[in-house]
Amino acid sequence: MTVDDLLDAIGEIDEADMEIEESKPKRRKIMWTGIGSLAACFLLFLFLPWGFLRQNMLNDKEVNYAPKDYTSFSVYYADGDSLSQFMYEIHGGYEEMFFAWKNQNGIGNEVELKNFVLESTTGNNSDQGENKPNGGYFLRVTVSSAFSEYLKKDSKGLLTEALKKTVASYVGVPVCDMEWIFTE
């Protein structure tokens, strides 16, 4: 037997054993329906002050966002013609968040994250003469050009939508729109 024979043999393993790998492990869909009002109030209490703190942290117009303590968030992925979500826990910054999104959406290692910018969408409040955030953020992601091939195949724009929602979950602010920038 040579190593090539072994590699080929591994390619013929039982499909039943591969079904386990094929299905996404530990899929936990967040089902908001059926949660009692008490549980909903508790969640609101838990997240309200945290969202306020994050909003204060993001007062800058443009930030290269590197949060410190966001360990649990939802990764959104294209699932047929719609999006599904999957709870993730990481101990790292936006690079790991992006990696998790990439992995969940079946995007290979040829796609590398080069830059990641969240920009507040400021509006001019004419009464008070000052710029205030409209409440949403614009995401600008620079990736290697290989990703353009994935976008070409994604006619429904699910990948883009999935990343916006994933970032929104990770950072805790609404992401209104985004732009992909490709580089070598």
Partner 1 sequence: MEDCEIVTLFWHRDESAIEETSKKYGNYCYSIAYRILSNHEDSEESVNDTYLDAWHSIPPHRPSVLGVFLGKITRRIAIDKWRANHAEKRGFGETALVLDELQECIANEGDIETEMEQKLLVQTVRLFIKTLSETERKVFVSRYFYMESVENICLKFSFSESKVKSMLFRLREKLRVYLSKEGF
| Residues near 136 by beta carbon (within 8 Å), at least 6 away in sequence | 120, 121, 173, 174, 175, 176, 177
In single-letter form, the type of residue at position 64 comes to N
Interface characters, 29-48, with partner 1 (x: CB under 8 A):
--------------------
Q: CA–CA separation, 165 vs 176, rounded Å? A: 9
C-beta of residue 112 within 8 angstroms of C-beta of residue 102: no
Interface characters, 63-82, with partner 1 (x: CB under 8 A):
-----------------x--
Out of 9, 43, 53, 181, the only residue in the binding site for partner 1 (CB under 8 A) is 9
| Local structure of residue 164 (DSSP, 8 states) | H
Does the footprint of partner 1 cover residue 184 (CB under 8 A)? no
C-beta of residue 56 within 8 angstroms of C-beta of residue 63: no
Does the footprint of partner 1 cover residue 11 (CB under 8 A)? yes
Q: CA–CA separation, 182 vs 141, rounded Å? A: 9
Using CB under 8 A as the binding rule, the residues of this chain from 110 to 169 that contact partner 1 are 110, 146, 149-150, 153
Q: How far is the CB of 10 from partner 1 (least distance, A)?
A: 5
Q: How far is the CB of 11 from partner 1 (least distance, A)?
A: 5
Q: How far is the CB of 1 from partner 1 (least distance, A)?
A: 5
Q: How far is the CB of 67 from partner 1 (least distance, A)?
A: 18
* C-alpha separations of 127 from 61, 124, 130, 135 in Å: 20, 9, 8, 18
Does the footprint of partner 1 cover residue 14 (CB under 8 A)? yes
Does the footprint of partner 1 cover residue 19 (CB under 8 A)? yes
